[in-house]
Chains A and B, each alone.
Chain A
């Protein structure tokens, strides 16, 4: 293997390097124990939301007034809502919307944060001074305030909510990635790559980017949970998805008047939001522990 190739070896996460996967003695399972249960729960919820049309037993908008507000039964696992629509189906479709919004904004926010962080941290000089000053100033405002300001200009809807979340969310990440790049660029292999005459783009994409991956994974998992909380709160207030599109936040505000009659209408989406946020936080912490070399 030439020096060239060894420098461009794809990223080997620290967890695989340090443990050396030995499938036979199952030590790997012990190592990843912390990921197992939250990963399974989150996977199940995401799967159910993703394939809602296949999993759901009914049409989410099939109205059956005669059967409105019924308690959970074999036909309707979570009962029916005020229009007699099957609530289990509604919850699945609501999850699809909510999880899509949270996942999409996470992806875009991470991508923008990475791009800005890489350029600012690696190019340095005047570019870095300008970018990091802007970041400092933007970070001085609470995230939600920026989100609401953007939402206020554009008016409430699903799309504007996404724009607002992304517009406000990338700033913190750019700063984290910039700091990581600043410490990575002092590493010997980056110096070697420079000495070999690699272009800055090549260094950014093939040396720096793979090494940022652990940070990316941790931030992304924590982000999904945080965005989910924000999206459902804003939707609950009527600042996100507009009816009849139903994400979990909208479903909760719709279900409010019927709480005493059918508590399940309020329990189901709330428990699911809590569960997704909880599993995301657990996963984020567990991954951070795994990649943290100091331990």
Chain B
């Protein structure tokens, strides 16, 4: 088991390195000369010599490898550079936005998992009944509805017309402000999970060991809970990692619509204003968390299924 975990960790290293390089390239891909831009602030008109001196001072004349090394060194101390737009430290700009994003994302993740897996199991167990057919069409529909459009409909109908819930904003952590964004964010991933779970349950229900259990006279409930479901849910655990990525990505869109003060909203402002240090830092933070989540799912999958850990199966997304 230790060897398996080490192998997964080793696989993550090149990915992490590439990620830091992408993030670093983003921060340096700016149009114009950062030194000149900085000196021109406040209406100053620097001479070419001043700019050259400042470039030297900022270390912009060094080869790219040296700058990358220096940037990595700064990274270890939590230094992500300064925002072009607000001139504030990027770590502060994004740091104060992590908590709202985590609250929204994790809630949506839990809601999507509970509804997706729960309903998927029910549909799978009642395969081809009217209940299952309605559910299948609903999951197809919810996978196709654009989340931003759903958000729009929820805001206008539930919040503006019926006045049941607040329209947008954070409301100092009032949970009522979170209901609509969570629904909009969780719908797509829940639909996907529902589909996969249903398929897995139906597949397992056909297996020989289920028939054997039945021939031994076990009750259907006992077969489902003790034999079928644990086997069906195993592959779904790995898919949860992918759903996490989906929610992370969806949050960029949903947060902006609900004026949720999270990292996604900040990223949108940054892309519109081409604030590359913020974009780079966002890519870095989101990428690292995605890699870590995938690592955890891969390792837990290995723990749960010896075939994966011993390299016999072909599972795992590496």
Which A positions have Cβ atoms within 8 angstroms of B?
133, 136-145, 148-149, 151-153, 155-156, 225, 229, 232-233, 236-239, 249, 252, 256, 259-260, 266, 270, 273-275, 277-278, 281-282
Per-residue A-contact encoding for B243-287, CB less than 8 Å = 1, 0 else: 001101100110010000000000110111010100110110011
Known: A145-B283, A152-B26, A237-B268. A274 touches B252 (CB 8 A): no
Q: Which residue of A lies closest to B294 (CB)?
A: A140
User: Across the interface, do B140 and A260 meet the contact criterion of CB distance under 8 Å?
Assistant: no
Q: Which residue of A lies closest to B18 (CB)?
A: A137
Contact residues of B: prevailing secondary structure: helix
Stretch of B44-52, B92-100, B145-153 contacting A (4+ beta carbons < 8 Å): B145-153
Contact residues of A: prevailing secondary structure: helix
Q: Which residue of B lies closest to A153 (CB)?
A: B29
What is the CB-to-nearest-CB distance from A148 to chain B, in angstroms, rounded to a whole number? Answer: 6
Known: A137-B14, A225-B144, A274-B141. A144 touches B268 (CB 8 A): no
B156 within 8 Å of A (CB atoms): yes
User: Across the interface, do B144 and A239 meet the contact criterion of CB distance under 8 Å?
Assistant: no
Q: Which of B131-148 contact A (CB under 8 A)?
A: 140-141, 143-148
User: Across the interface, do B144 and A278 meet the contact criterion of CB distance under 8 Å?
Assistant: yes
User: Across the interface, do B149 and A270 meet the contact criterion of CB distance under 8 Å?
Assistant: yes
B15 within 8 Å of A (CB atoms): yes
**Interface size on B (CB < 8 Å)?**
48
User: Across the interface, do B152 and A259 meet the contact criterion of CB distance under 8 Å?
Assistant: yes
Report the bound CA distance from A268 to B164 in whole Å.
25
Contact of A233 among B18, B146, B246, B283 (CB under 8 A): B146
Per-residue A-contact encoding for B142-178, CB less than 8 Å = 1, 0 else: 0111111100110010001100000000000000000
Contact of B15 among A137, A225, A237, A266 (CB under 8 A): A137
Known: A140-B290, A149-B26, A233-B253. A156 touches B248 (CB 8 A): no
In the complex, what residues of B have CB within 8 A of residue A133's CB? 14
User: Across the interface, do B252 and A144 meet the contact criterion of CB distance under 8 Å?
Assistant: yes
What is the CB-to-nearest-CB distance from A284 to chain B, in angstroms, rounded to a whole number? Answer: 11
In the complex, what residues of A have CB within 8 A of residue B248's CB? 142, 145
B19 within 8 Å of A (CB atoms): yes
